[in-house]
């Protein structure tokens, strides 16, 4: 009898716990989410920028046609959901992507959203509209789109030159909001108008950005927050101290270094911190158009001398990923499996043996213990660039290469790289979408503006097109692995490591998901709420 009572009591207690937990998990309306911003974005127009410093504050102002589901950490085709579109369909042999648009959606200034706005946005992105963006860094994303056609106010079609299944992935990025037709690009840079869960209030350069709840948001019951306020604090120490002191509800996303995450946890034990890959690779750009790096042996030797684990240990306390161009699994969808990666020269676990091979290649090229090769390693004057450049120089010493850091101000970095005024460069490449089309075409296709090294291999380029048209994911994956392997073997742009960074927030911040294969797509914030 006693055991029956005990059982009943346990059951009642469990029920109570479950119901309390359910109650606790019920989202609450209201409150302002306060976070700091790492720097002052140049403007407020997502389409004209190429940094997530823009996406974080302004993504909540907009909607896309489709979006990566905001509560799923890993972006994939399966996690794409409709947003301004209600549904989509591939027709015409996968050469037309048609969207049925949501009805009754209004821009923040009260005007109705229609298919004309979609056409306007993408015509401008393709450079076909009369109005132009001052800068259009992702124009190449739409190279395969021949035109955009509308069918009434609620249907729009992307007509392609050839099938490109991953167009949907590009459209789901935080970099692909729909802009209003009736607002000029210049106005969008200073006062963005969107259809999103939050309305733009003000942007004071170097001071703050304020957003307020959109009461007419088409998704009923969202957003939960009354607003979002970002205080611009470029000094990292001040920003972290302010978070620890409770001045902010969360840090700037994926911006807290691994040692700082440890500090935060020590000083604010209740804070929740997550460390995730950013899909930003640190890589080496080699000027192969002039001696000595026109010699492929020297390029190979350099790639083989890399001790990638050492980079990750020194810079990220061991929390980083070794891979090729594509972010490695399990967080990355398209990265080569470890077994395949280790077959690439320089990726094998025996660093000493790799370096012996590298030394032989250097000797073949005429260098040795008595004749070292002097090089300048150019890099931007920012710690995340400078620090690995110093480690690289140390590692190159082991194969008779004496390096010297050539620190370049940001203003001069890209012009310098574009005019090939460097020998070796230490570079960072961020990928907005974990998809091979974005990475391969942007960084490795012949003539691409972001192909800094001018690597051009027509055979590989054909393979880019083959993988791009492949609809079977598993088949495409294998093609992508082969391409990535070949790119590393060609020393097109040796990848050193893929970084990880931390995000921290106070325990009362709920509904936040840190994406694990891109740091550009997870800032709609309509599901975020404050449990206080």
Partner 1 sequence: MFAYLVRRLFLMLVTLFGISIVIFFLLRIVPGNIVDILFAAAGYVDPADKANLEKELGIDRPLIVQYWHWISGFLRGDFGYSYVSEKPALQEILPRIPITARLAGLALLFSASIGIPLGVISAVKQGTKLDYALRVVSLSGLSLPSFWLGLLILTASVAMFGQMPIFNPNPQTWLEAFATYAVPAAAVGFRSAALTMRITRSSMLEVLRQDYIRTARAKGASEATVNYQHALKNAILPVITVIGIEAAFLIGGLIVTETVFNIPGVARYLVEAIRWRDYPIVQNLVMFIAVVVVFANFTVDMLYAVFDPRIRYTD
For residue 466 the two structure tokens come to 């083959």
Question: Interface with partner 1 includes 242 (CB under 8 A)?
Answer: yes
Please tell me whether residue 291 binds partner 1 under the rule CB under 8 A.
Answer: no
Determine if 411 is a binding residue for partner 1 (CB under 8 A): yes
Q: Whose Cβ is closer to partner 1: residue 189's or residue 485's?
A: 189
| Residue choice 189, 199, 213, 493 for contact with partner 1 (CB under 8 A) | 189
Stretch that binds partner 1, among 27-35, 134-142, 296-304, 498-506 (CB under 8 A): 134-142
Is residue 450 near partner 1 by the rule CB under 8 A?
yes
Structure tokens at 250: 């969360």
Cα gap 24→19, rounded to integer Å: 8
Give whichever of 286 and 305 is closer to partner 1, judged by the CB atom: 286
Rounded CA-CA distance 171/160 in Å is 14
Other beta carbons less than 10 A from residue 437's beta carbon: 23
Of 353 and 418, which CB lies nearer to partner 1 in the complex structure? Answer: 418
202 binds partner 1 (CB under 8 A): no
- Among residues 115, 208, 251, 279, which is the contact residue for partner 1, using CB under 8 A? 208
d(CA 63, CA 366): 58
Strand stretches in 249-367, DSSP E: 272-286
User: Which range touches partner 1 (CB under 8 A), out of 6-14, 15-23, 89-97, 414-422?
Assistant: 414-422
**Which region, judged by CB under 8 A, interacts with partner 1, from 38-46, 275-283, 286-294, 394-402?**
38-46
**413 near partner 1, rule: CB under 8 A:** yes
- Structure token digits, residue 303: 């790639």
Which residues in the 254-273 window bind partner 1 by CB under 8 A? 267
CB 61 within 8 A of CB 213: no
| C-beta of 414 vs 532, nearer to partner 1 | 414
- 447 lines the binding site for partner 1 (CB under 8 A): no
Applying CB under 8 A, which part among 130-138, 215-223, 337-345, 456-464 lies near partner 1? 130-138
In the bound state with partner 1, the residue whose beta carbon lies nearer, of 86 and 409, is 409
Of 193-201, 229-237, 300-308, 335-343: span binding partner 1 (CB under 8 A):
229-237
Q: Report in angstroms how near the CB of residue 431 gets to partner 1 at its nearest.
A: 12
Q: Helix (H, G, I), strand (E, B), or coil: what is residue 513?
A: coil
Distance CA(480)–CA(465), nearest Å, equals: 11
Asked if residue 62 lies in contact with residue 192, where contact means CB atoms within 8 angstroms, the answer is yes
Determine the Cα–Cα distance for residues 403 and 373; give it in Å rounded to an integer.
Answer: 8
Contact 194, 206 (CB under 8 A): no
Question: Could you tell me which residues are beta bridge partners of residue 427?
Answer: 283
**Which part of the chain contacts partner 1 (CB under 8 A), choosing from 64-72, 240-248, 316-324, 345-353?**
240-248
CB of 28 or CB of 134, closer to partner 1: 134
Would you count residue 112 as binding partner 1 (CB under 8 A)? no
| Region near partner 1 per CB under 8 A, out of 41-49, 146-154, 309-317, 497-505 | 41-49
* 302 Cβ neighbours under 8 A, 6+ residues apart: 284, 286, 358, 396, 399, 401, 424, 491, 494
| Contact by Cβ (8 Å): 140, 448 | yes
Cβ-proximal residues to 474 (8 Å cutoff; 6+ apart), any chain:
none
Q: How far is residue 466 from each of residues 141, 432, 437, 476, measured CA to CA in Å?
A: 17, 22, 11, 8
CA-nearest of 531, 526, 528 to 223 is 526
Asked if residues 198 and 61 have their Cβ atoms less than 8 Å apart, the reply is: yes
Based on the shown chain and the rule CB under 8 A, indicate whether residue 6 belongs to the binding site for partner 1.
no
Instruction: Please say whether the beta carbons of 32 and 225 come within 8 A.
Output: yes
Contact between 507 and partner 1 per CB under 8 A: no
Work out which of 128, 449, 471, 507 binds partner 1, going by CB under 8 A: 449
How long a stretch of residues is the chain?
532
Closest CB 52 distance from partner 1, rounded Å: 12
Please select the residue that binds partner 1; options are 418, 446, 466, 473, rule is CB under 8 A: 418
Q: Which is nearer to partner 1, 132 or 182 (CB)?
A: 132
**Binding residues for partner 1 (CB under 8 A):** 40, 42-43, 48-51, 132, 134-137, 186, 189-190, 203-208, 231, 233-235, 237-238, 241-242, 244-247, 267, 409-415, 418, 449-450
């Amino acid at each position: 009898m006693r055991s029956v009572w005990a059982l009943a009591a346990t059951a009642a207690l469990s029920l109570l716990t479950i119901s309390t937990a359910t109650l606790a998990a019920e989202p609450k309306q209201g409150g302002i989410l306060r976070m700091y911003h790492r720097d002052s974005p140049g403007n407020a127009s997502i389409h004209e920028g190429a940094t997530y410093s823009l996406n974080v504050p302004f993504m909540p102002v907009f909607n896309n046609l489709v979006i990566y589901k905001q509560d799923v950490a890993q972006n994939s085709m399966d996690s794409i959901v409709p947003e301004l579109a209600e549904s989509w369909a591939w027709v015409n042999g996968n050469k037309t992507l048609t969207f049925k648009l949501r009805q009754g959606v209004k821009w923040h200034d009260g005007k109705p959203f229609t298919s004309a706005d979609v056409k306007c946005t993408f015509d401008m992105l393709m450079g076909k509209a009369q109005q132009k963006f001052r800068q259009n860094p992702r124009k190449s994303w739409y190279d395969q789109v021949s035109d955009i056609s509308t069918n009434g106010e609620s249907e729009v079609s992307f007509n392609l030159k050839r099938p490109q299944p991953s167009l949907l992935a590009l459209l789901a990025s935080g970099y692909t909001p729909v802009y209003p037709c009736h607002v000029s690009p210049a106005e969008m840079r200073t006062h963005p108008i969107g259809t999103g869960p939050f309305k733009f209030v003000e942007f004071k350069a170097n001071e703050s950005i304020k957003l307020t709840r959109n009461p007419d948001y088409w998704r009923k019951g969202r957003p939960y927050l009354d607003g979002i306020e970002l205080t611009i604090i470029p000094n990292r120490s001040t920003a972290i101290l302010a978070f620890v002191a409770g001045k902010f509800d969360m840090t700037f996303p994926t911006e807290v270094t691994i040692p700082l995450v440890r500090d935060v946890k020590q000083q604010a034990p209740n804070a929740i911190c997550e460390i995730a890959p950013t899909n930003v690779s640190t890589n080496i750009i080699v000027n192969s158009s002039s001696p000595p790096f026109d010699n492929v042996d020297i390029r190979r030797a350099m790639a083989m001398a890399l001790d990638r684990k050492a980079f990750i240990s020194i810079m990220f306390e061991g929390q980083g990923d070794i891979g090729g161009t594509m972010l490695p699994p399990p967080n990355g969808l398209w990265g080569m499996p470890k077994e395949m990666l280790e077959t690439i020269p320089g990726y094998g676990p025996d660093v000493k043996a790799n370096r012996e091979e590298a030394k032989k290649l250097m000797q073949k090229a005429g260098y040795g213990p008595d004749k070292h090769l002097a090089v300048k390693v150019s890099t931007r004057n920012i710690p995340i660039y400078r620090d690995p450049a110093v480690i690289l120089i140390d590692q190159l010493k082991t194969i008779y290469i004496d390096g010297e850091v050539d620190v370049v101000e940001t203003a001069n970095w890209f012009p310098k790289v574009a005019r090939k005024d460097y020998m070796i460069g230490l570079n960072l490449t961020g990928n907005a979408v974990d998809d091979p089309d974005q990475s391969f075409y942007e960084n490795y296709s012949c003539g691409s503006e972001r192909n800094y090294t001018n690597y051009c291999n027509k055979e590989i380029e054909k393979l880019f097109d083959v993988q791009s048209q492949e609809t079977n994911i598993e088949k495409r994956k294998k093609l992508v692995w082969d391409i990535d392997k070949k790119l590393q073997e060609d020393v097109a742009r040796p990848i050193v490591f893929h970084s990880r960074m931390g995000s921290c927030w106070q325990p009362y911040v709920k509904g936040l998901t840190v994406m694990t294969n891109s740091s550009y797509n997870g800032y709609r914030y309509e599901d975020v709420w404050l449990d206080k």
